[in-house]
Structure 1
């Protein structure tokens, strides 16, 4: 083989191996018997949910917060920036509907970082009176036993339990594309990483023992990075602990999306990963089927591989993802499979776009890495 053929073969083999290993590891993570939890009794829990505006299925997702089966003490703290936010009547209505549940709406923002969600959450952390604190985004559906599931993952090495979202209930193609990024791509990789004892946080759900984050400086310490999940991972690892994932990830109703919003969200998250863990992000270029297909084409043109490999590679690629989605019960219709193909065609473009600049817009808020760093140091 000449030099080009050696390089193409190495890239194809490495990418294919990663696809198979991460799919298998994700499947294992969902079914494996975990280390026994060290939690006994029914510890008290404070649940913080930042709210802002009227999102898709917002009343349904927030309602699930109240319907927990946990027998210990639970307080619910909903955090909003402004009294005139349209979500305020929805939250107050739910609080009135569940008078037996200890719940409050906290209004105001503490400017402790360049991260608007974190600024919204700080007041809730200050008010939280229990040993364990769950930060859960408003657009995640919480099953009735969500607290039991979180404690089940808390062993003697745990510093944080987290769950990336599983996209469900997409109503158009671009919603399915959003699910494709969340589920068989990001969710698969995160579950796989957890299997190899290298779990990392996802900001949708952060379940802390309060003293661990307080020892690092409290929620203000999470403002040291562009995203609180990157900072959370670093805080936990610095404490000599591990981030654990739930076996069954929490669902997020997606509804309708448009291509522009999916693209901008994925570029934003890619920039966050690139700035937070640059070495790992460099390897993401191997994650989709695009580069392996290019290498396969090169090897077929040189005669090293037969033409049927151009069908075998994508069949292997998306077949493993379909198997993971089937095992997990994630969306896997023909439209979903088509969205995986579109997603992988986008991945190299997203990867390149992530290297352009250190700023982005999130919910109308301009965020810049230099400003975030300066705020954290100040």
Structure 2
């Protein structure tokens, strides 16, 4: 390599490193201040009745605790509606047993038979979204554990001009190494970037919870607007934006319990989300390496001579910077630290960079142990005269 080429590589690496470190600093600061900023924007006072929609698919370790949390809400008036495409599955039976333990609450179990979407999750949501008793709907995933005041707090964000309220997720219940890797990804770089965009009044559809008005959903195109992709949450936000409604992140993060995971499961989940981002938010996807420690460590090694350091010194210093900053942020958020943090960070960076590269080469994703195309042909879905007429659902109980 010529001297000119070497200098160019060092300048490029130094520039990359500076951008990455600045992003680390600003996103960490945003993670600390976003709850206060978002809370000041939460201006809604009334508490309309709500339908809590629970899509049911797999019976995971955290299923019962997460689904029971829907019944612990300190909210004046709400119903709980569950739906499954497999009404006789273990998860469906467990859901019915949970319903039986709560006779004080209005509940319904719906059998979803719709086949209108690229995503099986969207097909499962047709029934509860269309058959909900109330216009305001809260959908939550099966591993999301709601705090008792969570519905009250998220409702404060559904103010005029807001069409969709989501929450920044954080991972808990991580009993093995693979689940700790996924928690490091979600609680680290992913959460930091969501906190950062939220501080600038930006929001994305993140489907761990979604709070919205059905009337807004229908005005934005209903299921026809989200049926073409497995990234239905992000498509939902885009559809609402076209009718002048914003997507916002709540001031309250939402807990998702991971339970025991395999490395294959973690990789496939991260690949699914990465492929969706590549298809639906390309600019964000292109920028992702700047938010990762691995590329910054490599850049530091290349640019180290500018600072009179050796490559190993530059790489080690950058590694320690990321490790210390992220662990301090975790501590500030009240999350437990582990002596295995350095190894988890190394494994996380390998997974994230491998997933990012792999996402350029595939459109196939895995959801609920089945493989799907990330985007379907929206024109292949037959239009319906109304969303309620599109429902092929059987009420039970």
Query: What is the rounded CA distance, in whole Å, between the counterparts of 1:205 and 1:315 in structure 2?
Result: 34
Q: Is the 8 A contact 2:117 2:229 kept in 1?
A: no
How does the TM-score come out when normalised to structure 1? 0.93
Given the alignment, which residue of 74, 82, 86 partners 2:90?
86
2:315 match: 310
CA distance in 2, matches of 1:337, 1:254: 21
TM-aligned CA distance change 1:201 to 1:165, over 3 Å: same
Separation in 1, partners of 2:16, 2:306: 17
Q: Deviations over 1:90-113 (max 9, x none)?
A: 122221211110111111221120
Counterpart selection for 1:277 from 274, 281, 285: 281
Alignment of 1:108-257 (within 5 A): 108-257=112-261
Give the deviation of 1:304 after TM superposition: 4.0
- CA distance in 2 between counterparts of 1:189 and 1:365 reads 29
Distance 1:7 1:97, change over 3 A: same
- TM-score, L = length of structure 2: 0.89
Helix, strand or coil for the counterpart of 1:283? helix
Distance 2:223 2:122 in 1: 7
Give 1:344's aligned residue: 349
Cα distance in 2, alignment partners of residues 285 and 259 from structure 1: 21
- 1:43 is aligned to 48
Cα distance in 1 for partners of 2:370, 2:221 equals 25
Call closer, same or farther: CA 1:273–1:149 in 2, change over 3 Å: same
Aligned to 1:328: 333
Are 1:122 and 1:219, in contact at CA under 8 Å, matched by a contact in 2? yes
Taking a change above 3 Å as real, the CA distance of residues 78 and 278 of structure 1, as seen in their structure-2 partners, is: same
Unaligned runs of 5+ in 1: none
Q: CA deviation at 1:194?
A: 0.8
Residue aligned with 1:223, SS:
coil
In 1, distance between residues paired with 2:46 and 2:376?
44
Alignment length (residue pairs): 376
Partner in structure 1 of residue 395 of structure 2: none
Q: Distance in 2 between matches of 1:214 and 1:243?
A: 16
User: CA separation of 1:131/1:337 partners in 2, compared to 1, >3 Å: closer, same or farther?
Assistant: farther
- How big is the shift at 1:38? 4.0
Aligned alpha-carbon RMSD (Å): 1.9
Q: Distance in 2 between matches of 1:36 and 1:15?
A: 29
- The answer to whether the Cα contact below 8 Å between 1:35 and 1:155 also exists between their aligned partners in 2 is no
User: What are the within-5 Å matches in structure 2 for residues 48-87 of structure 1?
Assistant: 48-71=53-76, 73-87=77-91
SS at structure 1 position matched to 2:258: strand
CA displacement at 1:358 relative to structure 2? 1.4
Q: Name the SS for the 1:174 alignment partner.
A: helix
Q: Could you say if the C-alpha distance between residues 174 and 213 of structure 1 is closer, same or farther in structure 2, counting changes exceeding 3 Å? A: same
Q: Which runs of 4+ in 1 moved over 6 A?
A: none
Alpha-carbon contact 1:38-1:156 (below 8 Å) kept? no
Deviation at 1:155, TM superposition (A): 3.1
Matched, 1:361 2:366: yes
Q: What is the alpha-carbon distance in structure 1 between the residues aligned to residue 306 and residue 21 of structure 2?
A: 20
- Find the aligned partners of 1:271 and 1:36 in 2 and give their Cα distance: 32
Q: Distance in 1 between matches of 2:164 and 2:356?
A: 28
- Please say which of residues 2-11 and 323-332 is displaced more in the overlay: 323-332
